[in-house]
Chain A
Amino acid sequence: MSETAVHAETPRDSGPAPTYEGVDTARPPRWRLALRWETALVAILLLTLLIGSNGSARFFTGTTFFFAGLNIGEIAIMALPLLMIVLIGEIDLSVAAMLALSGAVMGVLWQSGTSFGVAVAAALVTGLVGGALNGYLIAYLGLPSIAVTIGSLTLFRGIAQIILPNPTTTPFPTEVATLGVLPIPGTQVPYSIAVFTVLAVATATFVHATPSGRSLYAIGLQPEAAEFAGIRVTRVRFELFVLSGLVCSLAGVLFALKNSSASYSAGFGLELTVVAVVLFGGVSIFGGRGTVAGVVLSLAIVAVLQQALTQQQVQAEVQNIVTGGLLLASVLVPNAAAAGRRVRTALRGRGRPAPPPPTPAPTP
């Protein structure tokens, strides 16, 4: 601890012009790595914007922005709590199923004549309950989150299927139905993106600027050590899953409004998209590394790319390949140097015992 402090002060003490070397030692390498990935994301974003503007003269218009936002809105909202869950080394695959279930709850209640406000409230409560179920099984029973949330993704969508076998047909009240398909008056900002912006600022503030937020990194890097450092690991785990359930149900409400109908198959398969976006944003699947800025950039890239490729009538298949390729690049590029080093060491170190390699991917 004190050693770090000394290092941190070295550049300031060593004269008016701190050397790069001093700056480098003051920063933990993890942070530099993250910084580099986010820089790469900015470059990729600029590239995608370039591709978009090259393909269509009408690319830099409000309409493009609106539709890009409208398409990515719910994914973006769900990515925020997932970011925090991945930061603590867990995963939530039930996000899209919760989106469908909460939408179904809202749809069923609305169709049966309940007032709209009550229907929305019930949808949000559904999110809380579902999140609490996940959280209880994972945090208090200590079950692996990947297995639990594969189970609850089937369960949630299954319940949605029971309560709402057919998509709703009763239109939502006009004054709220327009929220899903029209921008905020006077702007080109869809409501879902407005909600996302508020949540993103809140998440960024929490994660990067509060002690409890910073403690998520500690949990992700070493849960036992975090526990001994006085962080209530179990409770944080539970709360994050509850939060995820709540936020995903909010996304479910917006999704139903956007499609002006609720369906148990809403957002089918979207969980993997959300996970992909978060991981592409530079969040380590093992936890402890990642930033809100990275995820926001990743979302922006996916949204712009989708819009650009669609405008240029590139098939959805190519978009899939690009998405997968980017995701793969996000783990390969930061590891390429290490892989190269490993190969070099192996070549040089022939004859003497090889050093123990880093832990091979303890996935998931």
Chain B
Amino acid sequence: MTATLPRPTPAGSTRTPVGARLGGLLRARETGIALLIVVVFVAATVKNDAFASANSIQQLLLGASLIALLTVGQTMVIVTRNVDLSVGSVVGISAYVVGMTFRDHPGTPILLGFVVGIAVGAFFGAVNGAVVTLFRVPSLVVTLAGLYVIRGLDGLLVDGVIINPQSIPRGFQRIGFETVLGVPVLFLLVLVVVLVAAYAMRSFRSARDLYAIGSNPDAAELAGIPTQKRVFTAFLVSGSLAGLTGALFVALFAQVDVTAGRGYEFLVVAAVVVGGVAIFGGSGTVIGAALAAVLLNTIDQALVSSRISGFWTDAIAGALLLAAIAFDRSLSLRIARKLRTQEGAHRDV
């Protein structure tokens, strides 16, 4: 039965005839963000040429990596018209469990550190996904509750004992500071995840289903898409990536306390929204979201390096976020108008 059904064509899809134009505009969004990164970078370099030094660029990429990695999972979740507010807490607890594993079992293989982090994250992602899909309750409420519960569990686990750099194997820490041809390893790792996810989100049928679900949940269900299964998977991926982020947190900072990952949820959602992912689902790309994470961090670093004052960072990030949403709105209104005039009777998007 499903085989004969026409493939759903979600709004924002880059694969459909109608979407071809849309795709062009969405691509323009990513180029726009990339251009903005260049502009900020050049401006900051003009002000202080140390900004373009290899060391400074490495710091820039490292600083953006963790949030960029989280935007991948968050994009998948938000595209389905859900949200995962628990990521910050999941990063915190998986970072601590990874650190604890290394501390209590010296000689743990480095790879196992990642496995542990991802497993912890996947567990909480699965719980979130199961509650959301089985009980059909709003994900905002579920993951907000998750944020508190997981933070509480993390606090019980930490119990005031901070993981020190001495407990973390040198090899694991190396991931945080080593570079290949001048590019930080950690950044390359994140880049691989982002590119794989971007390819999957563009080409895999199951990933395209996520867009269909976010565009119109009822229609997606009627079209034979296993919506609950897909939403569950999105949460599972988001949790797993948060777990991986936790492991990378340990590699990068080599120190974990109870505040690890705190407040990340808003940074991630902000980057995803600036990156052009519609908060009500159905459109947006992983690349856009990850680029936005880099942009926000570039602005952050640029302000610090220009000695304008680090205090301006948040205000500018907030203003930028508001501008990005307003820009999106005017863009989508323009597209809607264009579609109405050009498609005539075919406006079914």
B83 near A318 (CB under 8 angstroms)?
A: no
Which of B103-111, B152-160, B189-197 interfaces with chain A? Answer: B152-160
C-alpha spacing A171/B336, complex, angstroms? 56
A226 within 8 A of B: no
B244 within 8 A of A: no
C-alpha spacing A152/B322, complex, angstroms? 7
Contacts A141-B329, A165-B311 given: A360-B153 contact, CB under 8 Å?
no
A328 near B318 (CB under 8 angstroms)?
A: no
| Chain A residue nearest to B262 in the complex (CB) | A269
Contacting residue for B144 out of A148, A162, A276, A356, CB 8 A: A276
A155 near B325 (CB under 8 angstroms)?
A: no
Chain A interface residue count, CB cutoff 8 Å, equals: 59
A316 near B155 (CB under 8 angstroms)?
A: yes
B279 within 8 A of A: yes
CB of A30, distance to nearest CB on chain B (Å):
16
Which A residues from 106 to 160 make CB contacts under 8 A with B?
137, 141-144, 146-148, 150-159
Which of A185-193, A255-263, A319-327 interfaces with chain B? Answer: A319-327
A305 within 8 A of B: no
Q: Which residues of A contact B204 (CB under 8 A)?
A: none
Contacts A148-B322, A150-B273, A153-B266 given: A332-B137 contact, CB under 8 Å?
yes
B161 within 8 A of A: no
Counted as pairs of residues, one from A and one from B, with CB atoms less than 8 Å apart, the total is: 191
A300 within 8 A of B: no
Contacts A147-B325, A154-B321 given: A331-B142 contact, CB under 8 Å?
yes
Chain B interface residue count, CB cutoff 8 Å, equals: 61
| Chain A residue nearest to B151 in the complex (CB) | A320
Q: Is the interface of A mostly helix, strand, loop or mixed?
A: helix
A16 within 8 A of B: no
B131 within 8 A of A: yes
Contacts A151-B322, A156-B318, A331-B135 given: A363-B83 contact, CB under 8 Å?
yes
A362 within 8 A of B: yes
Contacts A154-B321, A155-B322, A276-B148 given: A361-B138 contact, CB under 8 Å?
yes
Q: Which residues of A contact B217 (CB under 8 A)?
A: 359-360, 362
Contacts A147-B273, A323-B148, A327-B144 given: A358-B81 contact, CB under 8 Å?
no
A317 within 8 A of B: yes
Q: Which residues of B contact A161 (CB under 8 A)?
A: 311, 314-315
B314 near A155 (CB under 8 angstroms)?
A: yes
| Chain B residue nearest to A331 in the complex (CB) | B137
Contacts A143-B326, A147-B325, A328-B131 given: A317-B279 contact, CB under 8 Å?
no
B136 near A357 (CB under 8 angstroms)?
A: yes
C-alpha spacing A327/B150, complex, angstroms? 13
Q: Which residues of A contact B148 (CB under 8 A)?
A: 272, 276, 320-321, 323-324, 327
A169 within 8 A of B: no
B279 near A147 (CB under 8 angstroms)?
A: yes
CB of A14, distance to nearest CB on chain B (Å):
37
B-contact 0/1 string along A309-340, CB 8 Å cutoff: 00000011111111111011011100110110
B144 near A137 (CB under 8 angstroms)?
A: no
C-alpha spacing A358/B156, complex, angstroms? 38
A331 near B138 (CB under 8 angstroms)?
A: yes
A279 near B141 (CB under 8 angstroms)?
A: yes
Query: Which of B213, B221, B281, B314: most chain A Cβ within 10 A?
Result: B314
| Chain B residue nearest to A336 in the complex (CB) | B135
A315 near B155 (CB under 8 angstroms)?
A: yes
Contacts A141-B326, A151-B318, A158-B317 given: A363-B81 contact, CB under 8 Å?
yes
Contacts A153-B266, A364-B138 given: A324-B149 contact, CB under 8 Å?
yes
Which B residues from 296 to 321 make CB contacts under 8 A with A?
309, 311-319, 321
B82 within 8 A of A: yes
Which A residues from 185 to 235 make CB contacts under 8 A with B?
none
B228 within 8 A of A: yes
B329 near A325 (CB under 8 angstroms)?
A: no
Contacting residue for B318 out of A158, A319, A335, A356, CB 8 A: A158
B141 near A331 (CB under 8 angstroms)?
A: yes
14 A-B pairs, CB-CB below 8 angstroms?
A: A147-B325, A148-B322, A155-B315, A158-B314, A161-B311, A162-B312, A165-B311, A318-B156, A321-B153, A331-B145, A335-B135, A335-B136, A360-B231, A363-B138
* Pairs A-B, 6 closest by C-beta atoms: A155-B318, A158-B315, A158-B314, A317-B155, A324-B148, A320-B152
Binding site for A on B (CB under 8 A): 81-83, 85, 131-142, 144-156, 213, 217-218, 221-222, 227-228, 231, 262-263, 266, 269-270, 273, 279-281, 309, 311-319, 321-322, 325-326, 329
